[in-house]
Amino acid sequence: MAGGLRVAIVDDNRLMRAGLETTLSSAGDIEVVASCSGADALAAVARCRPDVVLLDIRMPDVDGITVLRQLRELPRRPVVAMLTAFSGDDEVSAALRSGAAGYLLKDIDPEDLVRQVRALGAGQRPLAPGVTPIVIDGYLADVSAHTEARTAVAALTVRERETLSLLGRGLSNAQIAHRMHIAPGTAKDYVSALLAKLGRVNRVQAAVLAERARLLTQVGRHHRRPAAASRPPASGSSSDPAVR
């Protein structure tokens, strides 16, 4: 049909795909342009250019999260919603964080499925009723983690916050020493003391804390400040190459 909502179905179960295609094709404004397993999804979507993709999350060939991330890399990205029998915290969180526009369950009524596909085409983000509490709980947990991180960072000195921000950007002790204009041994001592003060966390955990506290954005602005703004170049002086 011309001018309708173009939909692709990605599921490893052929009978499921056939049933979904029948349901959606019965609507006058929806056209199923592709129906395939996970392994064929990227090629099929790139070729058929659907507006909406309904994607299963657990498939034996390629899992739905991997397919979702692949589809997000396409030049013309379709709207992707998970349509699955699984609604665990891990599945829902992974799908939404990877860019899924919605999360529907396979026990959905046929009429409701048609409505939700139309909603996806209109830019809405439908969630199955059983998924909504998971999303809310995840949001609250995320807010709590960010609050705890900001509280921890507030207790640090200026030098400790600078060290943490550089850790968060993945710098080694030697690189931290270079950026802070200190000896490598001093930088190592700073890092060790900082990790102990934060509760004996490791470098990865410290980096996560820095990101949650929005410290990387703040320090990124600080480190991008040009030197010329505070010290105009003079014809008779030069910068010390040892600290560049």
Mean pLDDT of 136-140: 62
**CA neighbours closer than 13 Å in the CB half-sphere of residue 195:** 17
Quote the CA–CA distance of 138 and 103 in Å, as a whole number.
14
At residue 208 the predicted structure's pLDDT band, cuts being 50, 70 and 90, is: confident
pLDDT of 241 over the 70 cut = no
Mean pLDDT of 193-205: 86
At residue 88 the predicted structure's pLDDT band, cuts being 50, 70 and 90, is: confident
Which carries the bigger pLDDT value, residue 37 or residue 137? 37
Which region among 36-40, 105-109, 151-155, 215-219 has the lowest average model confidence (pLDDT)? 215-219
Q: Quote the mean pLDDT of the chain.
A: 83
Query: How large is the C-alpha radius of gyration of the chain?
Result: 25
Cβ–Cβ < 8 Å for 13, 36 = no
pLDDT number for residue 90: 79
pLDDT number for residue 141: 66
pLDDT number for residue 145: 73
Mean pLDDT of 112-136: 85
pLDDT number for residue 140: 58
pLDDT of 68 over the 70 cut = yes
Q: What angle do CA 40, 42, 45 make, to 5 degrees?
A: 100
Which carries the bigger pLDDT value, residue 142 or residue 176? 176
Quote the CA–CA distance of 59 and 10 in Å, as a whole number.
9
**Dihedrals φ, ψ of 103, to 5°?**
-140, 110
